[in-house]
Amino acid sequence: MAGYIEDRWLKKRPNKETGKRERTALWGKCTRYRVKGIPGVRDRSFDTVADAKAWLAEAQTDARRGDFVDARDGAISLREYVEKHWWPSQVHPAQTLESMRHRIWGQVLPQLGDLALRDIGVAELRKWSADVQRAVASSTA
């Protein structure tokens, strides 16, 4: 698993003349260290390099085991996830996209769209499925 720690307060390369790393425009304005470069995981910031290293090592270990879940992402609603993250990444023929759009915005988001991703479980999906099967033909559902 990829991933690296970025120091946001100091430039990566030292000044050629002085040999020292220069301050960036973010000096003292934000958390100093940011873990980046992990596919599918949002960047995460820390005050100390030790905290950043510990989190990165734990995330890499969990990813190797297949256990890693970025808990912050579960707080967003299904609607926000679909509209901002999932839908823009879909690459299909125009006909397929139109069919998907009709089903997602017509059947899924009206009932499940306001729920946080972490709150959607088996019970919610069973209720949604039953509601859809009552509203449309079985072949469509």
How do residues 66-79 score in pLDDT, each as one tens digit?
666 665 666 788 88
| CA geometry: angle 15, 17, 18, nearest 5 deg | 70
Task: Tell me the average pLDDT across 13-39.
Answer: 86
What is the pLDDT confidence band of residue 136, given thresholds at 50, 70 and 90? confident
pLDDT at 1 over 70: no
Residue 45, SS3 per DSSP: strand
Contact 8, 44 (CB under 8 A): no
pTM comes to 0.49
Enclosing H/E stretch for 44: strand 44-46
Task: Tell me the average pLDDT across 40-47.
Answer: 81
Report the Cα–Cα distance between both ends of the chain, in Å, rounded. 39
pLDDT at 52 over 60: yes
Task: Tell me the average pLDDT across 81-93.
Answer: 81
When the pLDDT of each residue in the chain is averaged and rounded to a whole number, the result is: 83
Task: Tell me the average pLDDT across 95-121.
Answer: 88
Task: Tell me the average pLDDT across 45-56.
Answer: 91
